[in-house]
Amino acid sequence: MNLIENTLGRFVSDGEIAGCSARIMQNDEVIFEGHFGCADIEKNIPMSDDTIFRIASMSKVITVAGIMQLYEQGLFKMWDPVSKFLPGFKNPKVAKENPDGSVEIVKAEGEVTMRQLFTMTSGIPYAGTDTAAARIRKEKEEEYLAQGKSIPQTVDYCNWVGQLPLAFEPGDHWMYGFSIDVLGAVIEVLSGKTLGEYLKENLFEPLKMTDTGFFVPAEKQHRIATIYHIKENMRPNERNFASEKPAFESGGGGLFSTVKDYSRFAQMLLHGGTLDGVRILGRKTIDLISRDHLTPKQQETHSWDTQRGYGYGLGVRVLNNPEVAGINGSVGEWGWDGAFGNWFCVDPKENLTCVYLTTNLPGDHYSFIPKLMASMYASL
């Protein structure tokens, strides 16, 4: 495993990242675990096996697992309209951008479905993206906060988002956005619990993920890795981590976790929904999550550098073409990443999982992940 150690160590020694932790398991054994660089440069705290990371969008796959438990209970269908559970999504509108730069708000031809939330084809944008709908959302949020109001609870917030214009007709394109956060709100509606309570009871406690949640208690705060601006001489980002339950629990990006905890989650996915005799999901449900769901038209806008050769399943990338991806991995490898450079994969053909957590701002995944993957697969 010297290749992996050398690659990750070089990321730190070359000054490209502050630090990282990784765990790779194959055939249920840890074949590599390493912790490199600093969790806090200023305090000279090294990365360790109990460092807690903001996992950002790697939260999405956990939320998908949670709501698919409710799918298995027959509480919703994939083609159900979201408004069945969140009335704010009734009668959606689209922010249509005209060639002259003007924006026209028009009635959408159809409603957003649950399936479109899972596949990122809903048209619900993140506020910071470059679409008219995103700009409108950002303006509305700024107006809302300027009135002295705080972000509301998860369900209320998502119902509010549902009343804002979409970026395109539901189902027309793939666009990474707020969709999985909306699924988190649906979990609350269907379960009668907060998202954090539901995930704790149905995933974190059964999987013994003791350091995973939407906030980090005061006694664990010292273990949180600092986020660093990697293109600004490792300037530390402001430390302001929740020590108690936030009002809005972001199923799309709000969780904290450790390499060990997330590795247990990944191993459950690898083993068809079961770990250590505890069943979280059914095997066929895992098959559905990890299958490419995009149409050829939707695939045209699924065009990030890190997604070359990949399709998209239910909240996860799915490797279809290693040659196009430039990856020496397996067809069918799947997983996701997070805004701060985090990444994980499940490879059923090699009976392997990898979890890589780091603290980059921006994440700059394409500078690092293909190199990690090349070293990992060459080591098998």
What pLDDT is recorded for position 282? 98
Q: Can you tell me the mean pLDDT for 72-84?
A: 98
Joined together, the tokens standing for residue 37 give: 């660089």
Task: Assess whether 251 and 356 both reside in one domain.
Answer: yes
How far is it, in rounded angstroms, from Cα 246 to Cα 304? Answer: 31
137 and 260 assigned to the same domain: no
The reply to whether 125 and 25 lie within a common domain is: no
Which of 123, 157, 191 is a domain's end point?
191
- Tell me if 66 is assigned to some domain: no
Given a cut of 90, is residue 348 above it in pLDDT?
Answer: yes
Residue 271: pLDDT over 90: yes
Confidence band (pLDDT; 50, 70, 90) for 240?
Answer: confident
Q: Of 171, 191, 211, which residue is a domain's last?
A: 191
Whether residue 233 sits in one domain with residue 125: no
Supply the CATH number for residue 39's domain. 3.40.710.10
Digit-coded pLDDT (tens) for 186-234: 999 999 999 999 999 999 999 999 999 999 999 999 999 999 999 999 9
Residue 179's pLDDT band (boundaries 50, 70, 90)?
very high
Specify the higher pLDDT residue, 146 or 33: 33
Note the pLDDT of residue 98.
Answer: 87
User: Percentage of the chain surpassing pLDDT 90?
Assistant: 92
Residue 331: band (very low, low, confident or very high) from pLDDT cuts 50, 70, 90:
very high
Give the neighbor-by-neighbor strand order of the sheet with 360-361: 235-236, 228-229, 360-361
Q: What is the pLDDT of residues 291-323, one digit of tens each?
A: 999 999 999 999 999 999 999 999 999 999 999
* The domain boundary residue, chosen from 167, 191, 215: 191
Residues in Cβ contact with 218 at an 8 Å cutoff, skipping those fewer than 6 apart: 243
The confidence score (pLDDT) of residue 190 equals: 98
Work out the burial of residue 364: count CB atoms within 10 Å of its CB; fewer than 13 is exposed, 13-18 middle, 19 or more buried: middle
Q: Considering its fold, how many domains does the chain have in total?
A: 2
Judgement on whether residues 365 and 243 belong to the same structural domain of the protein: yes
Indicate the average pLDDT of the chain. 96
Angle 22-23-27 from CA coordinates, rounded to 5°? 155
Q: What is the pLDDT of residues 113-150, one digit of tens each?
A: 999 999 999 999 998 888 999 999 999 988 888 887 77
Look at 107-111, 121-125, 239-243, 249-253 and tell me which has the smallest mean pLDDT.
239-243
In one-letter notation, the amino acid at residue 204 is F
Do 151 and 42 lie in one domain? The reply is: no
Q: Is residue 84 pLDDT above 80, yes or no? A: yes
| 247-262 pLDDT, tens digit each | 999 999 999 999 999 9
Q: Which residue has the higher pLDDT, 379 or 99?
A: 379
Q: What is the pLDDT of residue 182?
A: 98
- Cα distance between residue 144 and residue 234, in whole Å: 34
Output the pTM of the full model: 0.97
pLDDT band per the 50, 70, 90 thresholds, residue 236:
very high
Same domain, 327 and 271: yes
In this structure, are 208 and 357 located in the same domain? yes
Would you place residue 374 in the very low, low, confident or very high pLDDT band (cuts 50, 70, 90)?
A: very high
Q: For residues 341 and 313, is the Cβ–Cβ distance under 8 A?
A: no
As a 3-state breakdown, the chain gives helix, strand, coil percent values, each rounded to 5, of 35, 20, 45
- Residue 43 has a pLDDT of 96
Residue 212 CB partners (closer than 8 Å, separation 6+): 62, 204, 255, 256, 257, 258, 261, 262, 265
| Full residue range of the structural domain in which residue 106 is found | 71-191
Helix axes 259-270, 59-72, angle to 10 degrees: 40
